[in-house]
């Protein structure tokens, strides 16, 4: 899906630099927002996503292509008929036999004819059989493309699901920041009124509080956009509202890197598709070479002809047709070389895709390892930041600290929580990428 809303996903995942809050989607004017688990969203998307359904229809179209290729080796039977009016009289039936013993044929300016003809290919240099093989490979490749699009859809839904979960955690942090800054502002205002703090401290606190509220609004918009993108992926076209159900975590790695690479090369649908494309290119070379061989067909016809009096006379014919190309100006040779070059290109594409798959698997492993380290570090930082904020609040209340220290401590806590939630999201995204890289869609 090629291709498959990928640009929108990149914008969503990379463009949310301002950290977000969940939209208020608990209810609408007429209905409650429906809650979906990750599994339910995937199931709905596999049934409703228009791009995936179009990919499925392509498989059905390729099945008809196989039928068309198979029909090439069957006889063609046609019913023919017509009427011809000429300036000069024409023979109604061919002249045959001796004019002394055979009645001279009738002549007429208007000739009516009706016949049944049959044509059966007997030999085409192997092109018919290879055409059937190519069509069957194309059908299998269409199935691989469908599997690839399915995996991309599942990956996109999983990524957006975890992104929303990540943003909702950030929403909680920003709401807590706004609440704590509001409480701090009340303390600063009280100190200013009693003359124990300068008014500039109140101004600084108002600036930080306004910034926190704006950040919360940006977060809300980010989550609303994420939900709309999720609806597009799932294929919901109405105005119904939805929300995700809780937090779902993926299992950690169970296989080694080399095992994952082997699994990816064995089951990645795009790698299977490029291998089938290589087989098609090889068969196409043989089809082009088959044009050098003779073509033999069986042709027969049974019919009747009549003049204006409608007195029909029957006639029939059976014959073999042989065609062998002797000179075509190098056309067949050029076609063969063209198909050979296409086969060489496909081999290089296969090699490039193989390297890309290996790189994607390794990158996913590195991202998972990096995220685990960041999660461990951020967990410790959050505890330290909370304790620092508690101390700075206490110092300010007792008159031994400054408003700037409290604001800095609050910003440090928000930064620590943001880094932790980002690391958690990055790990889920890396696990999702690994599943996609090795060809899993669940």
pLDDT digits (tens, 9 = 90+) for 103-159: 777 888 899 999 999 999 999 999 999 999 999 999 999 999 999 999 999 999 999
**Residue 95: other Cβ atoms inside 10 A:** 9
For residue 396, the enclosing domain spans: 6-74+126-292+330-437
Q: Angle between the 50-71 and 127-194 helix axes, to the nearest 10 degrees?
A: 180
pLDDT confidence of 26, banded at 50, 70, 90? very low
Residue 246 has pLDDT above 80, yes or no: no
**Residue 310: other Cβ atoms inside 10 A:** 7
- Asked, for residue 307, whether it belongs to a domain, the answer is no
Residue 318 backbone phi and psi in degrees, to 5? -135, 135
Q: How many Cα atoms within 13 Å fall on the side-chain side of residue 76?
A: 12
CA distances from 374 to 378, 382, 423, 433 (A): 6, 12, 6, 18
**Residue 391: other Cβ atoms inside 10 A:** 14
**Measured between alpha carbons, how far is 99 from 70 in angstroms, rounded to an integer?**
48
261 contacts 133 by C-beta, under 8 angstroms: no
Residue 82: partners with Cβ closer than 8 Å, 6 or more residues away:
112, 113
Q: Which tokens is 316 given?
A: 């029939």
- Asked, for residue 433, whether it belongs to a domain, the answer is yes
DSSP-based three-state secondary structure for 186:
helix
Q: Which tokens is 192 given?
A: 């200013």
pTM for the structure as a whole? 0.79
Supply the CATH number for residue 190's domain: 1.20.1600.10
- Asked, for residue 256, whether it belongs to a domain, the answer is yes
For the chain, give the percent of residues with pLDDT over 90. 64
Residue 36 has pLDDT above 70, yes or no: yes
DSSP string, 104-125: PPPEEEEEEEEEEEEEEEEE-T
- Asked, for residue 109, whether it belongs to a domain, the answer is no
- Asked, for residue 118, whether it belongs to a domain, the answer is no
**Residue 422: other Cβ atoms inside 10 A:** 18
CA 397 to the chain's CA centroid = 58
**Measured between alpha carbons, how far is 36 from 341 in angstroms, rounded to an integer?**
50
Task: Report the domain count for the chain.
Answer: 1
Residue holding tokens 């795009």? 270
102 contacts 91 by C-beta, under 8 angstroms: no
- Asked, for residue 33, whether it belongs to a domain, the answer is yes
pLDDT confidence of 312, banded at 50, 70, 90? confident
- Asked, for residue 233, whether it belongs to a domain, the answer is yes
pLDDT confidence of 97, banded at 50, 70, 90? low
CA 236 to the chain's CA centroid = 17
- Asked, for residue 62, whether it belongs to a domain, the answer is yes
DSSP 83: E
Average pLDDT over the chain reads 87
């Amino acid at each position: 899906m090629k291709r498959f809303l990928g640009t929108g996903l990149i914008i969503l995942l990379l463009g949310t630099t301002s950290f977000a809050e969940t939209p208020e989607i608990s209810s609408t004017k007429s209905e409650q927002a429906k809650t979906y688990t990750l599994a339910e969203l995937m199931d709905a998307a596999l049934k409703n996503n228009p791009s995936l359904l179009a990919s499925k229809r392509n498989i059905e179209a390729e099945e008809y292509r196989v039928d068309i290729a198979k029909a090439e080796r069957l006889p063609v039977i046609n019913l023919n008929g017509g009427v011809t009016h000429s300036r000069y009289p024409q023979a109604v039936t061919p002249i045959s036999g001796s004019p002394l013993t055979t009645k001279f044929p009738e002549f007429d300016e208007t000739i009516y004819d009706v016949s049944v003809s049959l044509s059966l290919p007997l030999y085409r240099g192997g092109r018919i059989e290879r055409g059937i093989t190519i069509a069957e490979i194309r059908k299998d490749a269409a199935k691989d493309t469908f599997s690839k699009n399915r995996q991309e859809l599942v990956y996109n839904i999983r990524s957006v699901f975890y992104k929303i979960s990540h943003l909702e955690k950030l929403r909680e942090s920003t709401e807590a920041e706004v609440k704590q800054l509001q409480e701090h502002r009340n303390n600063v205002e009280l100190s200013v009124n009693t003359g124990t703090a300068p008014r500039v401290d109140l101004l600084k606190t108002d600036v930080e509080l306004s910034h926190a509220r704006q950040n919360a609004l940006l977060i809300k918009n980010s989550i609303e956009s994420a939900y709309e993108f999720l609806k597009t992926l799932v294929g919901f076209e109405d105005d119904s509202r939805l929300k995700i159900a809780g937090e779902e975590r993926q299992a950690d790695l169970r296989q080694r890197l080399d095992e994952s690479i082997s699994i990816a090369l064995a089951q990645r649908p795009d790698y299977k598709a490029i291998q089938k494309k290589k087989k098609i290119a090889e068969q196409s070379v043989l089809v082009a070479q088959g044009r050098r061989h003779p073509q033999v067909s069986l042709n027969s016809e049974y019919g009747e002809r009549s003049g204006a009096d409608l007195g029909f006379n029957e006639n029939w014919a059976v014959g073999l047709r042989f065609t062998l190309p002797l000179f075509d100006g190098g056309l067949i040779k050029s076609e063969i070389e063209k198909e050979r070059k296409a086969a060489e290109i496909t081999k290089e594409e296969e090699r490039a895709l193989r390297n890309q798959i290996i790189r994607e698997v390794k990158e996913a492993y590195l991202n998972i390892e990096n995220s685990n380290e960041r999660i461990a570090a951020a967990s410790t930082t959050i505890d330290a930041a909370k304790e620092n904020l508690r101390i700075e609040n206490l110092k300010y209340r007792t008159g031994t600290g400054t408003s700037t220290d409290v604001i800095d401590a609050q910003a440090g806590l928000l930064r620590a929580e943001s880094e932790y939630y980002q690391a958690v999201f990055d790990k889920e995204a890396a696990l999702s990428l690994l599943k996609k890289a090795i060809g899993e869609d669940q």
